[in-house]
Amino acid sequence: MTDPDGAKIVRKVSLRLVPLLFLMLFFNYLDRINIGFAELDMGTDLGFSASVFGLAGSVFFLGYMLLEVPSNLIMRRVGARRWIARILLTWGAIAALTGFVVDDTSFYVMRFLLGVMEAGFLPGVAVYVTHWFPERYRARAVGGYIIGSSVAAVLGGPLSTAIMTFAEDWLGLHGWQWMFLLEGGAAMVLGVVALRFLTERPVDAKWLTRREKDWLESELAAEREALGGDRHVPLWRVARDSRVWSLAILFGCALVGIYGLLLWLPQIIKAFGGLSNLEVGFLSAVPPLLGVLGTFLVSRSSDRTGDRKKHLALVYGLSAVAIAGSAWAPGPVLAYVLLCVTGLCIYAGNPLFWSLAASFRTGAAGAATVALINTIAQFGGLVGPWSIGLVRDATGSFTLALLTIAGFLVVAAVIALVMRVRPRDEPLVHHVPREKTA
């Protein structure tokens, strides 16, 4: 079968799977970051300081890290369709129940449980995509659903602040309580949809012809064989791979900036002064909206050239410059423009990271590799939100916090340039574009 025919098959698969995965990522990130909008009123109602919200944002990642690798290994046994549906149902329930916290302790507990229930979702989806998309098409597929996180940040502000504004005092509940209930409930609905519409592998797809199934299975089988097939690789060997640690530390540094921006952007914009919650929500939508554009452009360029490393270095380097500039900007307009530039660049690295992580190994070893990389990388989620809250309480501004984020992004850019992406002991898939060894 010619490659143009293969491209048509991939487009057919994309139209079936990517929109659903996109919706999952949308609510996944919305339920992570909506505490940033809740804080606009929730902090006053419950007496929470910036440090409390920062710690709550970080403790999520503690639960997430503890269950990340076990969750992905369980998914290998029970199947992606069932396990992803379970994750959606349970994280949605915890997200909804967060609307009923009464103090900082219960807030921390619910955020920790949210991390536990969500653990394994992103790496699980990344592994699931390797069951459907050959490597040379994968960054675009990942980019197609990973922008759900950026779109969540785009629409999350207007959506969350609108619920908080117009649902205030419905049935005696605060607007921020309705926000948690409705956005968490939507994830639960998606769990039921996923159980019905996700297909485990091409061979199970009734919506593909036999010819289409055969082409996909042969392409993916050739890639698996080139990476060692489904042979058993002990976890200790995965952990000894320098590529795992390089990519994990790189993305962990990037996550300091990504989650710092996602969770604190409403408060950073609110600090400009004179803005209502609804205005903050709409202004918070622009940087991640530009991130959607950046994701499309960068993922397409990366697939076309076969390069991941230089693209990662570029987007994180530009993000560092822009966010540092916003910290020193003489006025709120320029500071906001530079935050928009940061959004354009910083989110564009996500599909490159997941494409690289999923390409290191295959089979059970691939699931463990992706989960381990993502687990290590979550130190960025632990460090970012909490440290920004502490600095905000201590200094009364976000200047030092933004400069710290810029430093982490510089480290990410440097690692991207020098890291090795080829395996030392395994052959390459010759028809798939790969990078040169660093």
The CATH code that applies to domain 7-230 is: 1.20.1250.20
Residue 417 in contact with residue 308, Cβ under 8 Å? no
213-263: pLDDT as tens digits: 988 888 888 877 765 545 555 556 666 777 888 888 888 888 888 877 777
CATH architecture of the region 232-422: Up-down Bundle (1.20)
Instruction: Let me know if the fold of 7-230 is the same as that of 232-422.
Output: yes
20-74: pLDDT as tens digits: 999 999 998 888 878 878 888 887 888 887 778 778 877 888 888 778 778 877 8
Given a cut of 80, whether residue 116 has pLDDT beyond it is yes
Bridge partners of 236?
none
E strands, 18-132, are: none
Amino acid at 306: G
Q: Tokens standing for 160?
A: 């969350």
154-183 mean pLDDT: 89
Q: What is the pTM of this model?
A: 0.68
Q: How far apart are CA 421 and CA 409, in angstroms?
A: 20
311-365: pLDDT as tens digits: 989 999 999 999 999 888 888 899 999 999 998 888 888 878 877 776 666 655 6
Q: How far apart are CA 296 and CA 84, in angstroms?
A: 25
Least confident of 81-90, 253-262, 424-433: 424-433
Domain boundaries of the chain, sorted by first residue: 7-230, 232-422
pLDDT at 363: 58
Residue 398 in contact with residue 327, Cβ under 8 Å? yes
pLDDT at 231: 53
